[in-house]
Structure 1
Amino acid sequence: MRLPDLLSGAFARHTDRVALRCADQEWTYAALDRVTGALAARIGRECPAGRRVLVVGEHTAEAVVWALAALRSHAVYTPTNPGLPAERLAESARVAGAGLAVCFDDEGVAKAAAAGVPALDTRRIDLDEAGEQATPACDSPIAYSIFTSGSTGRPKLVDVGHGGLLNLCRSLRRLLDIRPGEEVLQFASLSFDASITEIVAALHAGATVAVPAREQHSWLGAVSRHLAEHGADLIMVPPSVYARLGDQAQRRVRKVQFAGEALGKAEFETAVRHSLVFNAYGPTEATVCFSMAAMTEFGATIGTPIDGFTALVRDPETGDLADSGVGELVIVGDGVALGYVGGDPDEQRRFSEVEGRRAYRTGDRVALDRAGLTYMGRVDEQIKRLGHRVNLAHVESALAVHLCVPVAMVQLGDELVLATTTARGGVDAVMARLRQLLPAWEVPDRVAVVPDFPLATSGKLDKGALGDLLSADTEAPAAAAGGTELRRVLDVVTEVLGAEVAPEGSIFDAGASSLAMMRIQVKLTEVYGQQAVEAAFDAMDYDFVPTDFLKHVRGEEVTREASATELAYRQATAELAELRAELPLLRRAAPAGPGLVLVTGASGFIGGHVLERLLAEGRRALVVSTGTAQRLRTAHAARFGRPSAELDEVEVIDYPELARRVEQGSGPAVDAVVHCGYEVNHLLPLDRHMNANARTTALVARAAAAFGARSFAFLSAASAGERFTDLSAEALAAVGDPYSRSKLVCEAYVETLATIGCQVASYRAGLVYGHGPADTAFLRQDWFSALLNLSARLRAMPRLDGLVPICDVQLVVDALLAGLHRAPARSQVVVHRTYGLDDLLATAGLTADDVVDITEWFDLARDSGADPRVLAATQAALGGRGWREARRETDRELLADLLALLGAATAVGV
């Protein structure tokens, strides 16, 4: 489907919905259809068919309207950054062979005239009065052309075809759950291809494109204020932009898709507290978006390919392609661009075909497996500055032409230096000229004049020797004082504060205020440009240190932090080594006869039933609890109708006391351990589980050794997986959520007891029910019982994936206590019955007509006033796939009993 047809279809489907909104102005789909059709005809009259039309504007609703008009015209839409220097814009127009420039102000018109391109001044056209005219047909194979983000010293234009756009729109609508009527923020400059997803994908889904009103100098400030006041259903922004948004703005975003640069842990952890989080990856050469991941915990994943794409990795030595492994990412599919305009032959060779499909070598190094893609950096020699790839050799080539002098770009640590043998007018004049010629991300940090360029024996420039020469030069007094660039920044700070600050000191330590920082930002914007300064201030997190500012302007790379899963695996490996060394030293002889049973989690639902069974069988128990002894005894007696005097004989200690007894070797003889004590919270991050649940389990394992236990039963979770394997980084990463991953770690801790002769059993139980009237308090935060109750009340059941595994509490207790009477089965899954969607419908009194998508169900539940904490737990629990194997080991109708207990009209946790 061609892009104009895609847009026309969207306009026809959503006629009366609001398509575009800015401040107090809005256009319905019908109105936007009429206006953009008329403006497309106007473009068609002034630009020859098939020629490129430059749209030199951004960040206004009018610019979006004209962009859509250009997309629907018989010209080729080519957005251009209005902030480019005039010479760079002229070069862009030359490469594009532009037939028309759509301009929004006097500066744009003047630049177009200087470039020799006819200008259409939009200020002379009233959008509201544009007459209805037929939209010209588009016969070009190019959907749009867009300049890359500055990886070379001269403009490089990408021609993007129509083939991948429908897949892009459909995939984003599905993956991001974009719904008719939702508001999608239009943040990106039109010159960045991210704007295509914000505008075209949103309109395809029937959403409203919301453009913040720009009433102040900073675009980012306008965006933050807009979100704080109005919120948004979806924003698509780089992590550095998100971090700069105000707290209230972040809180009012329902879904955030990160893209454009590596996602940092701090940005993810902030976003996941307020929003659904997605991480996307896609070069311009792959129709904006190639892969996406829905993220519930931090990691380096860039997800899996969207519809229409295939990922391959290329071996750097042999050039062979494979569907797994580590290497250069090769993108295959209809969404691969048609090629470059203005690129050299080496760059053009990045495009090829694989089995008859277009392919593109990205230059990005990735790890590819069944779980998806992990980004591992660049394979070439390009550097990254301000989120843009910069090829130093190409910048050198362009500058040598413009400056008419020999130049060389050298990176010295964090500093980018332009070396030259001649600086006409002085280095300050050269730096001023560079800012006119180059975008901010390509401007060097300083200019250095050298007597001559050192040459290698081959006669070529010896950059190693030149780097040594420039490094020696930095030891000169002027450089030691900070150089020209640092001096310029310090002068700005001094002018604002009225006092000097140390190059590495914070202005706030010198008594500056937030207002002073804003004034410094405005003044530095005049020197470095708005985009560069906003990115640097964002990276400094609302502080200002002169040397740090320059480092951020240089766009230095940030080393990827280890993921939470990687850190957990390292922690688990170290703990396992300690356990294997300590347990033989702690081990004492088992008691001669039936001894105590150590129980954890006795104040919980399952642990309470374990303790009650022990009391009924006349076994003595030592209970380890996080609560007080009196509270546990009182609650248990009331729950099970047992005389409180019978609980007085149960010894109750806390975990610090357990640790003390292990350390001092003063614990009682214990026959068996039943470990049920675990904080069941799918929303806790993995590090919290590791430092709480996992650490506690390691302590209980040490106690089992120190107290001579013959057997150890651990209550694990079926969500840890259906198969038992040794703990490994791969096995841990394959488990769906942090809670279940921590269960896997704890199983490994418990398993170490087998090396000293203790009989170990880990029971992976499904959802455990069989509550009595006194157990209803345990259901208040239970996600599945809440789902059933809400579904019955809302008359809507979410479409679940797979089966739901259920256990009867009494049968679970039988398994946990099996070691008291015989050798327990090792590492078994305990699922007594599974329920499919049909079973759940029947239980809740619903029919197939009441089944809705999961996202729709959550919308209904939120509107009903359900407890957000329960819904959050439900959403986390439904994030993985359901159980696959049907089981029926009991005929007890556990779910029917559950609803009967709760009462069909009583919603749990609402």
Structure 2
Amino acid sequence: MTTTLPRRLGAGLLERASTHPGNVALTLGRRDYTYEEFTVTARSWAAALVESTGGRPRRIGVFAARSATSYLGVAAVLFAGAAFVPLNRKFPPGRTRTMVERADVDAVVVDAASAPQLPEILPYLASRPVLVLPETLRADVPGLDGHRVLDAADLAVFAPPAELPEPAPDDPAYLLFTSGSTGVPKGVPVTHGNVRAFLDANQDRYRLTADDRLTQTFDQTFDLSVFDLFMAWENGARVCAMDPIELLAPFTYLERNGITLWFSVPSVAAVLRRRGVLRPGTMPTLRWSLFCGEALPRATAEAWQAAAPHSVVENLYGPTELTIACTAYRWNPATSPAECVRDNVPIGTPYPGLDAIVMDENDDEVADGEAGELCVAGAQTTPGYWRAPELTAQRYVERDGRTYYRTGDLVRHVNGQYVCLGRNDQQVKIGGHRVELGEIEAAARRAGALEAVALLWPDAGTIALVAVGVDDPRALSDACERELPTYMVPKVIHAIEEMPVNLNGKVDRAALPRVLADHAGAPR
């Protein structure tokens, strides 16, 4: 077994299997997998992937979720020298098919729960990727004709190889597909060098040890899951994969598993706060509490800090194109409330080695304190969109010899910290006035709403507000009138019990027009 791969993603997993073989790498339900057991299995699967694809594969889909196969599959793909492509059975089969085709995968690793979707995907593919079924036998899955299949029995004959293919720093470690404005998923290849820069910056910040235990709250099609897995595995710590139902009341789970690092989208914490279960002192084992993926409201940060009194709360920010997260802000109960803007926690400062600038619509850098689009360059900046040069040219810009990614997020640099003002596509015009929807949402939260989302509905001239935790919409409207100009006051306010969320746990803004239409009795 080789342990001389210091820069590849997965190198730490190999090293910890050598230095801490008996440590638990993964807790899945009530089942623990030690580093030795985990890596022996993953390396054996890697040997099968290399042999079945006729040499080092390029990209391999992992069509699995919250199962042993989903985690072992990722490690096996990396050990085979390939990039993993996360796929999700919660997605419509047509979307999964598009991702498989665009990624041009050599193989797909499939768990038992995802295998029933294969007949809806495979017949429509132009290629014939190898199918790896660690949890099932080929006879139990219909529609596999024309594909080479390795099932559980086949995998059992492979042994861990003495040497593993070694990727270069510029080779993709994973290919993640995100929503595209055209309706077609856009691929973001993230290189080994990108991820190594991210992991190094975070280890300098958090100093994780083999005693740490990390949550895994995200689906693996959400790149924040890479933090959980590899920050743990690089440092001999344990990943504890939570079932989504456990997020509704995580306190027993956290205590039973001795969780020291929590990581989720803020919406998870907001739901707990809204339900009144985020009580002081309920999460005593936590020493780090990290949030990313959407704005972190001040009140949510305050409530979480009280519930996890021994924990440092941080707000992370970053799009997939900048490798998981690129800025961080450390919450200070004494000073941070005054630093919040629009009642949201700042996104902080860039990671070491990253350069951030704020540009206006003419690509000119704005003065400190002025609003503009955040653009970031550095080792975490991914090389561009997968086989989409025109889209890459739109979002990646050369400046002073460096390549900056245009985030599409409006920010302001205030007192040494970046504060996020919302998306540049969430600025709308009402009666000739420029309106930031985030400003309306902040006013609603200050007036008592636990969550609030403003949008144009039913036409471009009307602002609607969907709010959670509001008993009297009329009183909320009156409060907005006292704080906002008349043209910014929502004309429609709809109170609901819970915000719709997408598969990543973020508020699903695209679903809100349907919520409003149903509320108004209008047809969809």
TM-score relative to the length of structure 2: 0.69
- Aligned equivalent of 1:83, options 84, 87, 90: 90
Task: Report the counterpart of residue 313 of structure 2 in structure 1.
Answer: 277
Alpha carbons of structure 1 residues 254 and 152: separation in structure 2 relative to 1, 3 Å: farther
Distance in 2 separating the partners of 1:370 and 1:271: 25
- Aligned equivalent of 1:201, options 231, 237, 251: 231
Task: Report the counterpart of residue 266 of structure 1 in structure 2.
Answer: 299
- Aligned equivalent of 2:204, options 171, 174, 180: 174
Q: Per-residue CA shift, 1:403-454, capped at 9, x if unaligned?
A: xxxxxxxxx974777xxxxxxxxxxxxxxxxxxxxxxxxxxxxxxxxxxxxx
Distance in 1 separating the partners of 2:257 and 2:347: 30
Alpha carbons of structure 1 residues 413 and 115: separation in structure 2 relative to 1, 3 Å: same
Q: CA deviation at 1:53?
A: 1.1
Cα contact 1:329–1:364 (8 A) shared by 2: yes
Q: CA deviation at 1:71?
A: 2.2
Whether 1:311 aligns to 2:356 is yes
Alpha carbons of structure 1 residues 372 and 56: separation in structure 2 relative to 1, 3 Å: same
Cα contact 2:189–2:386 (8 A) shared by 1: yes
Q: Per-residue CA shift, 1:40-91, capped at 9, x if unaligned?
A: 2222233464532111122234311111211222222111222111111111
Task: Report the counterpart of residue 136 of structure 1 in structure 2.
Answer: 165
Task: Report the counterpart of residue 100 of structure 1 in structure 2.
Answer: 107
Q: CA deviation at 1:254?
A: 3.3
Cα contact 2:278–2:304 (8 A) shared by 1: no
Alignment of 1:434-445 (within 5 A): none
Alignment of 1:843-882 (within 5 A): none
**CA RMSD of the aligned region, Å?**
3.9
Distance in 2 separating the partners of 1:64 and 1:205: 17
Q: CA deviation at 1:169?
A: 1.5
Distance in 2 separating the partners of 1:161 and 1:261: 24
- Aligned equivalent of 2:324, options 265, 283, 288: 288
Distance in 1 separating the partners of 2:298 and 2:516: 20
DSSP-derived class of the 1:277 partner = strand
Cα contact 2:397–2:403 (8 A) shared by 1: yes
Alpha carbons of structure 1 residues 10 and 350: separation in structure 2 relative to 1, 3 Å: farther
Alignment of 1:715-730 (within 5 A): none
Task: Report the counterpart of residue 365 of structure 1 in structure 2.
Answer: 410
Whether 1:56 aligns to 2:63 is yes
Alignment of 1:611-630 (within 5 A): none
Cα contact 1:18–1:181 (8 A) shared by 2: no
- The count of corresponding residues between Structure 1 and Structure 2 is 417
Q: Max radius of gyration: which structure?
A: 1
Q: Which runs of 5+ in 1 are unaligned?
A: 384-411, 418-462, 472-502, 508-520, 540-546, 555-910
Task: Report the counterpart of residue 21 of structure 1 in structure 2.
Answer: 27
DSSP-derived class of the 1:339 partner = coil
| Letter matched to residue 159 of structure 2 | G
DSSP-derived class of the 1:184 partner = strand
DSSP-derived class of the 2:418 partner = strand
Cα contact 2:369–2:412 (8 A) shared by 1: yes
| Letter matched to residue 160 of structure 2 | E
Cα contact 1:41–1:136 (8 A) shared by 2: no
DSSP-derived class of the 1:163 partner = helix
- Aligned equivalent of 1:113, options 122, 127, 135: 122
Task: Report the counterpart of residue 477 of structure 2 in structure 1.
Answer: none
DSSP-derived class of the 1:261 partner = coil
Distance in 1 separating the partners of 2:18 and 2:415: 40
Distance in 2 separating the partners of 1:382 and 1:111: 40
Distance in 1 separating the partners of 2:496 and 2:221: 35
Task: Report the counterpart of residue 72 of structure 1 in structure 2.
Answer: 79
| Letter matched to residue 297 of structure 2 | G
Alpha carbons of structure 1 residues 280 and 149: separation in structure 2 relative to 1, 3 Å: farther
- Aligned equivalent of 1:256, options 289, 294, 306: 289
Cα contact 2:218–2:225 (8 A) shared by 1: yes
Cα contact 1:536–1:549 (8 A) shared by 2: no
Cα contact 2:12–2:233 (8 A) shared by 1: no
The structure with the greater share of residues assigned to helix is 1
Cα contact 2:294–2:506 (8 A) shared by 1: no
Distance in 2 separating the partners of 1:552 and 1:71: 46
Cα contact 1:197–1:288 (8 A) shared by 2: yes
Cα contact 1:44–1:75 (8 A) shared by 2: no
| Letter matched to residue 73 of structure 2 | W
Cα contact 1:44–1:136 (8 A) shared by 2: no
Distance in 2 separating the partners of 1:549 and 1:226: 35
| Letter matched to residue 207 of structure 1 | A
Distance in 2 separating the partners of 1:290 and 1:351: 16
| Letter matched to residue 315 of structure 1 | D
Distance in 2 separating the partners of 1:21 and 1:553: 42
Task: Report the counterpart of residue 34 of structure 1 in structure 2.
Answer: 40
The structure with the greater share of residues assigned to strand is 2
Task: Report the counterpart of residue 122 of structure 1 in structure 2.
Answer: 134
Cα contact 1:315–1:321 (8 A) shared by 2: yes
DSSP-derived class of the 1:232 partner = coil
| Letter matched to residue 268 of structure 2 | V
DSSP-derived class of the 2:88 partner = coil
Structure of higher RCO (CA pairs closer than 8 Å, 6+ residues apart): 2
Task: Report the counterpart of residue 330 of structure 1 in structure 2.
Answer: 375
Cα contact 2:368–2:412 (8 A) shared by 1: no
Q: CA deviation at 1:189?
A: 0.7
Cα contact 2:65–2:219 (8 A) shared by 1: yes
- Aligned equivalent of 1:550, options 515, 518, 522: 515
Whether 1:184 aligns to 2:207 is no
DSSP-derived class of the 2:403 partner = strand
Alpha carbons of structure 1 residues 356 and 201: separation in structure 2 relative to 1, 3 Å: farther
Alpha carbons of structure 1 residues 57 and 529: separation in structure 2 relative to 1, 3 Å: farther
Alpha carbons of structure 1 residues 114 and 277: separation in structure 2 relative to 1, 3 Å: farther
Alpha carbons of structure 1 residues 2 and 322: separation in structure 2 relative to 1, 3 Å: farther
Distance in 2 separating the partners of 1:324 and 1:15: 51
- Aligned equivalent of 1:374, options 399, 408, 419: 419
Distance in 1 separating the partners of 2:17 and 2:319: 28
Distance in 2 separating the partners of 1:103 and 1:55: 6
Q: Per-residue CA shift, 1:233-260, capped at 9, x if unaligned?
A: 0011011112334548655533210100
DSSP-derived class of the 1:363 partner = strand
Alpha carbons of structure 1 residues 190 and 47: separation in structure 2 relative to 1, 3 Å: farther
| Letter matched to residue 253 of structure 2 | H
Q: Which runs of 5+ in 2 are unaligned?
A: 1-6, 136-150, 429-452, 465-492, 520-524
Q: CA deviation at 1:333?
A: 0.2
Identity %: 26
Alpha carbons of structure 1 residues 223 and 81: separation in structure 2 relative to 1, 3 Å: farther
Cα contact 2:314–2:331 (8 A) shared by 1: yes
